[in-house]
Amino acid sequence: MKAATADTATANRKSFAFSTDVRPPVVNRSLLQVGGMAEIYLRDAPYLRLLSEEEREVSLDGMLKAKPKGSVWIFGYGSLIWNPAVKFVERRLAKVEGWHRSFCMSIVAGRASPATPGLMLGLDSGGECLGSAFRLDDADVRAELTLLWRREMLCRGAYVPRWLELRDEDGEAFGHAVAFTIDPEGEKYAGNVPAEVAVRRLASASGGLGSCADYLFRTRDGLRAHGITDLALEHLADRVETALAA
C-alpha cells in the first residue's frame, strides 16, 4: 500500500483548515476526525513517509482480531494522561509490567522539525510503568480506536501497538489494554540517546503542535495530578527547565 502524501492528506482532511492563530492547534477529536495530524506532520517535514489511512485500518483490524476477552481499555502513559481525546466510560490507575515510560522515539515533526529534532515518549522494554487506563464502551470501540490510530500510528518505524495486561495498585489483573510500545528495530528508536543529548533536544525542539518541552512539562504535571510518581521524568523535566532558563 502507498504511504500518505501531502495530496492524500489534503484530500482526507475534509473541512479541516489551519488556524491563523499563532498558538499551535490542540489535538482534539475534531482534528483527529479530519486527519489533521497527518497534515501537520507533512507541513513540518514533507519528506516523511506516513502510514496511509488504509494501512492504519489494516493495523487496527489485526489488533481487534487479537483482542483478549473482556472490555477494551487504552493505556495512557504520556499525553493520553492529560489529553485523552477519546470517549471512555471508566478511568483507573493501572500498571503494566515489562515496559517503562521513556523518551525513546526520535521525531522531526509535530513537536519537532528536521532542523530541531525532538523526542517523544514510548513504552520501552523492561521494568514497569504506572499510568491511566481508559475503558471504552463496547459500542464505541471501533470509532474511538480509529481516532487513536490517527493520533499514534502516523510514522513508520515508530510504535508497535500491543495488548498489555493491566494491574491495579494491589497487583491484581483487571483487563487488557491497547498500548503503544516502541519498535526497537525501527528507524525512530532513540532509546540509547545520551542524557545530555535528550535534554538538548527536549529543550530546543518545536513544530506544528508545539514544543517538546511543553509536552514534557504537561506530562509531568498530568502524572502529578493523578498521583503518579515518575522520578526519572521529574529529573529530566528539572534538567530541561534549567537548560531553558540558561
Q: Decide if 241 is catalytic.
A: no
Grid cell of 114 as nine digits: 528536521
Catalytic residue, chosen from 39, 53, 144, 152, is 152
8 closest CA partner among 47, 45, 38: 38
Terminal CA-CA length for the chain: 47
Residues whose CB falls within 8 Å of the CB of residue 46, separated by 6 or more in sequence, listed in order: 6
Residue whose C-alpha is closest to residue 39's, from 88, 110, 141? 110
Contact (Cβ atoms closer than 8 angstroms) between residue 226 and residue 169: no
Task: Check residue 68 and report its DSSP letter.
Answer: P
Question: Residue 53, SS3?
Answer: helix
Query: To which residue does cell 517535514 refer?
Result: 45
- CA 72 to CA 177: how far, in whole Å? 6
Q: What are the CA-CA distances from residue 51 to residues 9, 33, 48 (Å)? A: 11, 16, 10
Give catalytic residue positions. Answer: 152
